[in-house]
Structure 1
Amino acid sequence: MAVAGCGTHTALITDRDGASVSPVQTLTEVEWTRVLDDTSTARIVVNPDGDCCDRLGQVRAWRHWLNIWRGRDPVWSGPILQAEWSRGQMEVWAADVLAVLDRRVPHADITFGDTDLVNVADWLITDGFAPDDPGHSIEVVGKTGVRGGREYRRNIGQTGDHLRDLAENGLDYTAVGSRILLLPETYPVTVGRLTDADLPEGLIVAEDGTALATRWIVAGKEGTDGDSDIIGDAGGPDPYYGLVERYVEQTTISTTLAARSAAASRLRASLPVPVVVDTQEVSISPEAAVQIPTLVPGWCLDVTTQVTCRPLSQRLKITGVKVTETGGTDSTPGSESVQVQVAVTGAESATGALGVV
């Protein structure tokens, strides 16, 4: 059985065309994350020596990319956003490939009719990178089942913001290296199991009541020349929670069907009250039945815990991963720490996975 193990990290800085700029020797700190429906970050601290110092002095933000391995597995890659040099030390901050889309806009007018959100996201990403592509690929894991009905105008809005809007309505996405993964928010595939023994220092089980809604109203683009505004809704009074209504405007939605589909998707994600499990900045045990490179947001973990007053045994979606390694000092040994955040929403409840205890 595969287990988490204890990882050792290495790093390489490359040019945006892929050529090596500098190996990163004497790493003293490494931190990398993976995030659902947003841009992840990484950070390293290095004590350069010899000609490595000269090469690291040539590193430039946005021109160069940080690449991180855990053992032999590539786990993170993205453009460097900030670098700081001090005596005997260099610190680098980077974001994944999705950060590029936060600096791009739509380059053409386009209107989508009755199409899946995955197809809309695919176009946004492809169009965003088209004029100048530092290297990316798109992997469609599965369709969302949510109708697209979207309209975009050339030079209006950041592409990254348009992608995040889709993620509010049934699409999940994440970046692993240069790959951008697109999948439905109800994707049920699990990559491992965690129990209380795998989280020896504890965890938090929390309900997020601020996310509850029993009825959603989604307003699309405004009507023109006497046409009606685009509005869709889903839900109503709930026998347990009563009536909690939420309203949102998304002007890129161009059809009533798409507005209704978006409302239904938001309802699935906000009813019942979402439950979040957080490992409190505590590392997963090296003996846990998971492999760290496969902890990808959008996939699931089967989590069983009995240590709080809110016992839980359910298949939960990974929403965030954070891995850190310190090189230690003469008196304090270095170590790796792996934290994972998982959540159950209405979408996961609909899959009927394991159920709450």
Structure 2
Amino acid sequence: MQTLTEIEWTRALDDTSTARVVAIPDGDCCERLGQVRAWRHYLSIWRDGQPVWSGPILQAEWSRGKFEVWAGDILALLDRRVPHDDVDFGDSDLVDVAAWLIDDGFAPDDPGHSIEAIGKTGVRGGRSYRRGIGQSGDHLRDLAETGLDFTAVGSRVVLLPETHTVTVGRLTDADMPEGLIVAEDGTALATRWVIAGNEDDDVMGEAGGTDPYYGLLERYVEQTTITTDAAATDAARSRLRSSLPVPVFIDTQQVTISPQAAVQVPTLVPGWCLDIATRVTCRPISQRLKVTGLKVTENGGTESTPGSESVQVQVAASGAENTTDATFGTA
């Protein structure tokens, strides 16, 4: 037998999510937990009888009367894989490029992944990859900076356009009775983007210019896997959508959301949206915001204190509606 004293799992947009479990072993369970090995074994978590998280164990620690383990979702494997073939994409959609990277990365030793493409991004790929060069996970994250979103739900990798705006719930001031903080982040603002692609072909793309309100704020980025001017231009346009106008953050990490709030934890998948409306500060916000992360923490409590669960969901402006970035928490 074993007693779980702490469980923490996350979901992440455009990155690998993590999970952590602390257990107090008892009897034969101690010997079995001593056989856990990183990358060889997987951690799976259920909530209310439903699977909510799964992935390979990355680190384990054994101490007297305690076992602690950390894991990453299936995307963690792509950070230990490289492209296995040479490939050149012309005007392929980023979703098709991402699907190739994922399938190719898992091909030699597939953990049992699947891909769900919600829709096309409308952004041209124009990418080139060479066998054995670069980590597959890094290549996938590069695509996520130019119009694509991805997330892992168990063994399923979901691909969707950054402009995806399907909502899974709504939060208002009544759902956040302890209040919140609205903050503006000018460091993320840019009115013009320049993307440099493959050096040998002098690939270049740009979007934006002098804004009538903000003036001129320029950013330059190199992405050597981009092989066409059209793809570089699409990448610049995508960056511009996420940086203009200046992002506004709503911080409620220390706030308890009402249990009656119209949100359900299983539906809080990064890439989908929440409708947010608040007027308790001098900076009112009413907008559909994208879920970018989820963190669920549960502890078993003590003999005198009951266990509890807290849920924090991070939300940000989508590529289609870019004026707000926010963080919400529930308990």
Bin the TM-score by the shorter chain: over 0.9
| Residue in structure 1 matched with residue 314 of structure 2 by the alignment | 341
* Correspondence 1:162 to 2:135: no
RMSD (Å), alpha carbons: 1.4
Cα distance between partner residues in 2 of 1:91 and 1:349 = 40
| Residue in structure 1 matched with residue 265 of structure 2 by the alignment | 292
| Letter matched to residue 119 of structure 2 | G
Structure 1 residue 276 displacement after superposition = 2.7
Show CA shifts across 1:97-121 (max 9, x none).
1000001100111000011000000
| Residue in structure 2 matched with residue 255 of structure 1 by the alignment | 228
* Correspondence 1:64 to 2:64: no
Cα distance between partner residues in 2 of 1:258 and 1:194 = 37
Alignment equivalent of 2:20, drawn from 29, 40, 43: 43
Show CA shifts across 1:197-253 (max 9, x none).
222333332322111111110000012xxxx50001011111111111111000000
- The alignment partner of 2:25 has SS state of coil
* Correspondence 1:144 to 2:121: yes
| Residue in structure 2 matched with residue 92 of structure 1 by the alignment | 69
Cα distance between partner residues in 1 of 2:69 and 2:254 = 22
Cα distance between partner residues in 2 of 1:182 and 1:101 = 15
Structure 1 residue 345 displacement after superposition = 4.8
Cα distance between partner residues in 2 of 1:35 and 1:75 = 13
Which consecutive unaligned segments of at least 5 residues does structure 1 have?
1-23, 351-357
Are the structure 2 counterparts of residues 281 and 43 from structure 1 closer, same or farther at C-alpha, using a change threshold of 3 Å? farther
Say if 2:296 and 2:312, in contact at 8 Å, map to a contact too: yes
* Correspondence 1:194 to 2:174: no
Moved over 6 A (4+): none
Are the structure 2 counterparts of residues 346 and 118 from structure 1 closer, same or farther at C-alpha, using a change threshold of 3 Å? closer
Structure 1 residue 343 displacement after superposition = 1.1
Are the structure 2 counterparts of residues 283 and 177 from structure 1 closer, same or farther at C-alpha, using a change threshold of 3 Å? farther
Q: How does 1:72-221 map to 2 (within 5 A)?
A: 72-221=49-198
Say if 1:271 and 1:345, in contact at 8 Å, map to a contact too: no
Cα distance between partner residues in 2 of 1:97 and 1:47 = 26
Structure 1 residue 287 displacement after superposition = 1.6
Cα distance between partner residues in 1 of 2:42 and 2:205 = 43
| Residue in structure 1 matched with residue 276 of structure 2 by the alignment | 303
Say if 2:164 and 2:318, in contact at 8 Å, map to a contact too: no
| Letter matched to residue 162 of structure 1 | H
Which consecutive unaligned segments of at least 5 residues does structure 2 have?
324-331
* Correspondence 1:282 to 2:255: yes
| Letter matched to residue 172 of structure 2 | T
Cα distance between partner residues in 1 of 2:146 and 2:86 = 22
* Correspondence 1:268 to 2:245: no
Say if 2:238 and 2:319, in contact at 8 Å, map to a contact too: no
TM-score by length of 1: 0.88
Structure 1 residue 96 displacement after superposition = 0.6
- The alignment partner of 1:26 has SS state of strand
| Letter matched to residue 167 of structure 2 | T
| Letter matched to residue 229 of structure 1 | D
Say if 1:194 and 1:303, in contact at 8 Å, map to a contact too: yes
- The alignment partner of 1:102 has SS state of helix
Say if 1:173 and 1:182, in contact at 8 Å, map to a contact too: yes
| Residue in structure 2 matched with residue 321 of structure 1 by the alignment | 294
Structure 1 residue 309 displacement after superposition = 2.3
Say if 2:207 and 2:237, in contact at 8 Å, map to a contact too: yes
* Correspondence 1:332 to 2:305: yes
Show CA shifts across 1:113-138 (max 9, x none).
01100000000000000001112111
Are the structure 2 counterparts of residues 167 and 148 from structure 1 closer, same or farther at C-alpha, using a change threshold of 3 Å? same
| Letter matched to residue 51 of structure 1 | D
TM-score by length of 2: 0.94
Show CA shifts across 1:296-346 (max 9, x none).
111000011122222111100111111101111123221110111111255
Structure 1 residue 170 displacement after superposition = 0.4
Say if 1:106 and 1:152, in contact at 8 Å, map to a contact too: yes
Say if 1:274 and 1:346, in contact at 8 Å, map to a contact too: no
Cα distance between partner residues in 1 of 2:244 and 2:318 = 7
Is 282-291 or 54-63 further displaced after alignment? 282-291
Say if 2:176 and 2:257, in contact at 8 Å, map to a contact too: yes
Cα distance between partner residues in 1 of 2:267 and 2:256 = 16
Say if 1:277 and 1:343, in contact at 8 Å, map to a contact too: no
Aligned pair count reads 323
Cα distance between partner residues in 2 of 1:26 and 1:99 = 27
